[in-house]
Amino acid sequence: MKFGNIKLYNDRPSVIAEAGVNHNCNLKLAKKYIDYAKLAGADAVKFQTYKADKIVSENSPAYWDLSKEKTKSQYLLFKKYDKFNFSDYSKLYSYCKKKKITFMSTLFDVESIDKYNRFLQVYKISSSDINNIPLLRKISQKKKSVLISTGASSLKEIDFALKILKLPKNKICIMHCVLNYPTKDVDANLDFIKRLRLRYPGYLIGYSDHTIPDDNLTSLLVAYQNGAQIIEKHFTHNKKLLGNDHYHAMDKNNLINFFSLIKKINLLKKIKNNRIGQKKSIIYARRSIYFKNTLSKGSRIRSKDIIAKRPALGISVKEWDTVLKKNIRVNVQPGDLLKKSMLEK
């Protein structure tokens, strides 16, 4: 199964490494992000394509954590990172094809949609554009798969966006998201993913994460366990860097750990006939019936004459009531194992 050109799995989420503009408009570094994402096992690497003049006015205050990203103006921040042009993204697209990883980029203006359409099988709509009618309509015209983030949205706003998109349910993935950079764990609201699944049957449900990651990406694990099939998380080559999206991003080691943890969880949950793998334990940890008294041939077995001991090499202790009051056909000593051949027919 695929969503656009993103592979879907039965035993793990599809993961988009959101490189965004963490490459600082350095093409060589942007290609490194593609390498790191591929190495870590991501299904796609996603960039952001924008020009500051087209998405924000010069008087737009910041809404992020200023202790991490000190730029107080949206315009100045976006102006800093809008240096890539069509030729740069074309090279990144080609490099992704070479590395066999899906290329994606979030487009923030209507004009870019026709321009970059040939690079994209899946469109990503930012939470900030969930009510952007011109952008939604233009993307809808392409009839391709769409990921739509829902940070800061109401259910009515989600319904509104779906109505504008006018796409089949199987072409839309509704991404739970919290539009805070970073998102505090207490505000992640990951159980809301379950509510989205109930309210929007037939749609794919995903998660776009902005929490501060731990080594195993626990937030992504919980999101997956709650039903998120596609997950995106900001991606960096150095989490110690201040500014932009490094401070709430995962790195390749986080993602490798995450997939290892998913693999281990799947092994732990795997349904199988456990008795097959526990044959030795069944024999050596369970009990058979042994004699604890000396008995002569022809004697009748009484409860006081036998004891249940490991290993289970003879008659099982579950036959305790069956052997009582039966006669033995041989002489026995304390510690002898009771075998069927010792019993008179």
Q: pLDDT tens across 207-239, in order?
A: 999 999 999 999 999 999 999 999 999 999 999
The domain in which residue 210 lies consists of 2-269
185 with 252, same domain: the answer is yes
Q: How confident is the model at residue 270 (pLDDT cuts 50, 70, 90)?
A: confident
Q: Is the pLDDT of residue 65 over 90?
A: no
185 with 334, same domain: the answer is no
- Domain end, chosen from 213, 235, 269, is at 269
Cβ atoms of 22 and 237 within 8 Å: the answer is: yes
Write down the pLDDT at residue 89: 98
In a domain, 275, yes or no: no
pLDDT digit string, tens, across residues 4-22: 999 999 999 999 999 999 9
List the CATH number of the domain containing 338. 3.90.1210.10
pLDDT digit string, tens, across residues 277-323: 888 998 999 999 999 999 999 999 999 999 999 999 999 999 999 99
Any residues with CB less than 8 A from the CB of 30 and at least 6 apart, and which?
19, 23, 47, 84, 88, 92
- What beta strand segments (E) does the chain contain? 2-3, 6-7, 14-20, 44-49, 102-107, 122-125, 145-149, 172-177, 204-209, 230-234, 288-291, 306-309
Q: Is 269 exposed, middle or buried (0-12, 13-18, 19+ CB in 10 A)?
A: exposed
145 with 108, same domain: the answer is yes
- Domain end, chosen from 269, 293, 308, is at 269
Predicted TM-score of the model (pTM): 0.87
User: Per the structure, how many domains does the chain have?
Assistant: 2
User: Could you tell me which of 240, 223, 242 has the C-alpha nearest to residue 232?
Assistant: 223
Mean of the per-residue pLDDT values of the chain: 95
Q: Is the pLDDT of residue 242 over 90?
A: no
- Domain end, chosen from 249, 269, 289, is at 269
292 with 150, same domain: the answer is no
Distances (CA, A) of 91 to 32, 85, 86, 88, 94: 13, 10, 9, 5, 5
Q: How confident is the model at residue 271 (pLDDT cuts 50, 70, 90)?
A: confident
53 with 187, same domain: the answer is yes
Write down the pLDDT at residue 235: 98
169 with 38, same domain: the answer is yes
What mean pLDDT is predicted for residues 54-74?
89
